[in-house]
Chain A
Amino acid sequence: MSGFSGKVALVAAGHTKWGVRNATWRELVQEAGRELFKAVPNLDRSKVDSLFVGAAQPERWAFQSHVAPLVADMVGVKPWRVVQRTELACASGQSAVRSAAMAIATGLSEVALCLGVEKMNLPNMAESQTSMADVLDREFDGPSGASAPPFFALTAQRHMHEYGTTEEQMALVAEKNHANSVHNEYAQFQKPVPKEKVLSSRMVAPPLKLLDCSGITDGAAAVLLTSAERAKEFTDTPAYLLASGQSSIGGNLANIANWTTWQPGIIASREAYKMAGISPTDLGFVESHDCFSISEIIEYEDLGFCKKGEGGKYIEEGNPYIGGKVPFNPRGGLLGMGHPLGATGVSQVAEVLWQFQSRVPKQRAVGGADLAMTHNLSGAANVHSVLIWGRSAQVAG
């Protein structure tokens, strides 16, 4: 498996404001397209040969299917190589980027636009919560009334039970990521959240409280991928895709690998580390999927940054902070940014480019990173997907 080995370049990104937006789905798409084309003025829209749209549930949230051609229309491109929408719940955005990278690596596409979008805030929020619930096995897990928070609450309870993880440790994750999103102009949440506030926030599904949970968010983001050969047509400072991994185990909750060890995350990350020829601590930073505070704690463990069960201690010791061993979520994470399902994975990739190009505010700049990883889980953490990016097309020996 030779993988991507620097054949695919990331050259531009655009981002809308995220939050509870007074805007429709198609307006978010238009904004993201405009911001992307603003970022790459010498791109002729007619040269975009492929379009990949990350969208989890436009059918439920915007009553719209067959979204790829509509997005092409909204942003003004007429692709002739690949036109595709990717759906993988919370990882729909990364799935779009990964599919585009595969098209570029095979030579099928040379200039691919990836746009992730979700409009989640509706007048009836129970309707929106239903869209989160049917990410689980709707016929056999759904009628229990569970959606995302109860699933991750059950996970958190078991992690506390088996490893002694505490609610205070989880609150540190929310505090850290909100401290980063304060400095992200696109973030849904831009106020500092001290851990005491996390601990005293309203209970959603014990032990998870409101500020342990990512938001219900409207937003979009877009990135442009091209071949390494053509990258310099668009920017002097591209990023390169070095490796990727993805794994899925179980659909119904009776069949997931384990409640506290995310086996698909272990498999996907190890595949990618092997493909890139690196170990986790070679990474300059990680954009991981902190949909809930407990998620990031398990990710320190299962993505290989500390021993199983020591994720809580890992953050207490300061490792995942900017300035620490390997910073997690300098963008602000899902906890600080909000989580428009189809857009999150694309926004994480935009952050990689902007961090490498030193275009983020200095308060959340990791500085000098040569390698970065973006990670998403989806559904009941039964799928994990990772991408490893480099400032150069090859890993320095």
Chain B
Amino acid sequence: MPPPDPEQLPYLLDFFPLQDAESTQISHFFDELRAGRLVTSYCPPCDRLHWPPRVACDTCTAEKLEWRTLPGRGKVFAFTAMMLGAPMGFEKDLPFVIAVVEVEGAPFKVLARVDDAKYEDMSIGMAVVLKVHRLRDGRVFYRFRPA
């Protein structure tokens, strides 16, 4: 495995890629995200969606979980912007918007960056859609952008 590209370290991801089937049992989540879809794990006996995606349910002992595709849309519950004191590698992005997003089709709110928006453009309740952030080594991470 080649050493990590320093440019790829900043985003608090693992130092080495851990999104493929050799590394993680939730590689399907990353594969779907790479294709532009937001999925998460679902427990049939509990009729419950999880976040983050899991391999074992936290409320029962079911052996097999399923995947569910979410619409990839949401509404802003709260927002701020990182203006000072960013973690390693994020400094070049300053300032950037961070929001709590109520995820459509799911009972949870996720923390995520909102791209293509300034703090001044944001408001509570505004609609956002999934944006896939792609790193050069092929890794992906979820963000949102204004709908």
Contacts and interface: CB of A to CB of B under 8 A. Distances in A.
Interface string A112-153: 000000000000111101101110111111111111011001
A150 B11 contact: no
Nearest to A253: B111
A133 to B, nearest CB: 4
A163 B120 CA distance: 22
A206 B93 contact: no
Given A253-B111, A254-B109, A255-B51, A149 B85 contact: yes
A206 to B, nearest CB: 6
A147 B110 contact: no
A154 B98 contact: yes
A129 B52 contact: no
B42 interface: no
Interface stretch (A33-41, A63-71, A197-205): A197-205
A47 interface: no
B124 interface: yes
A157 interface: yes
A259 interface: yes
Question: Interface residues of A toward B: which range?
Answer: 35 or more
A141 B83 CA distance: 18
A206 B83 contact: yes
Contacts of B85: 125, 129, 147, 149, 204
B91 A126 contact: yes
Nearest to A157: B78
A71 B98 CA distance: 39
A237 B52 CA distance: 51
Interface residues of B, number: 36
B109 A129 contact: no
A129 B86 contact: yes
Contacts of B82: 145-147, 149-150, 205
A145 B83 contact: no
A161 B123 CA distance: 11
A232 interface: no
Nearest to B85: A129
B43 interface: no
A145 B86 contact: yes
A357 interface: no
A136 B12 CA distance: 11
A158 interface: yes
Interface string A234-266: 000000000000000000111100010000000
A137 B112 CA distance: 12
Nearest to A159: B78
B141 interface: yes
A137 B52 CA distance: 10
Given A126-B89, A130-B87, A146 B111 contact: yes
Nearest to B58: A255
A205 B85 CA distance: 9
6 contacts: A124-B88, A144-B98, A147-B85, A161-B78, A205-B81, A254-B109
Interface of B: 11-14, 51-52, 77-91, 93, 96, 98-100, 108-113, 119, 124, 141, 143
User: Would you list the 10 A-B pairs with minimal beta carbon distance, nearest first?
Assistant: A142-B12, A153-B80, A133-B87, A254-B51, A254-B108, A130-B87, A140-B52, A154-B78, A145-B90, A126-B88
Given A149-B84, A154-B98, A208-B80, 10 more contacts: A126-B86, A145-B12, A145-B82, A146-B82, A146-B111, A150-B98, A154-B99, A154-B100, A204-B83, A254-B110
